[in-house]
Amino acid sequence: MKKIVVGISGASGAIYAVRLLAALAACPVHVYLIVSDTGAELLKMETGIEAPGLEAWLSQNTAFHKEARISVCGIGDFYTPPASGSFLHDGMVIVPCSMKSVAAVASGMADNLMLRCADVCLKERRRLILVPRETPLSLVHLENMAAVTRAGAVVLPAMPSFYFKPKTIEALADTVCARILDQLGIAHTLVPRWGEDHV
């Protein structure tokens, strides 16, 4: 069973987190979920879902795989498994990723569990995907994204694609989530691939 760490930080774009978690919950994957305080506020504001009830919402509203698991980790709990480099997992994604979080990762500031887990990914050379949703970008933002890229992270901006003519906002968000799943090495059928017959 793959183990994936998912962080939700305080940036607009909670739909990306919800759609990604729905896709992961449909697979035999163990998700370690970390939600920042501001991430929880935006999750409720943008989707109506309360962070403490996210697992229950997924089990009621998605095709929850019988072997899927979600372990919710407190933002201040440094004793949870992903906080240690000795814990083996298959990758981490922060979605959406605030520019504050990008800056913290770039500078090695690991003062909460989400940032500590990201820091561990870099030092252990594990897959770390940051999904910023911000525009326009300042030079500070760009330099921080360049710094995390040099350190080994993948910066995957929340830039949806339109060539498959998505009909709903969920389908539009899935075009980004599909790229995240590709980076995590998780098979999916969220969107058609370029060149497939039905495109």
Q: Is residue 12 part of an annotated ligand binding site?
A: yes
Q: Is residue 84 part of an annotated ligand binding site?
A: no
Q: Is residue 179 part of an annotated ligand binding site?
A: yes
Q: Is residue 133 part of an annotated ligand binding site?
A: yes
Which residues fall within 8 angstroms of residue 174, CB to CB, at 6 or more apart? 19, 23, 166, 190, 191
Q: Residue 129 in 3-state DSSP? A: strand
Q: Is residue 138 part of an annotated ligand binding site?
A: no
**Which residues sit opposite 73 in a β-bridge?**
34
Q: Is residue 36 part of an annotated ligand binding site?
A: yes
User: For 41-187, where are the E strands, in sequence order?
Assistant: 69-73, 92-97, 128-132, 154-155
Q: Is residue 163 part of an annotated ligand binding site?
A: yes
Residue 196: exposure state from Cβ atoms within 10 A (0-12, 13-18, ≥19): exposed
Q: Is residue 11 part of an annotated ligand binding site?
A: yes
Q: Is residue 101 part of an annotated ligand binding site?
A: yes
Q: Which residues are annotated as a binding site for FMN?
A: 10-12, 36, 98-101, 133
Q: Which residues are annotated as a binding site?
A: 10-12, 36, 98-101, 133, 163, 179
Q: Which residues are annotated as a binding site for dimethylallyl phosphate?
A: 163, 179
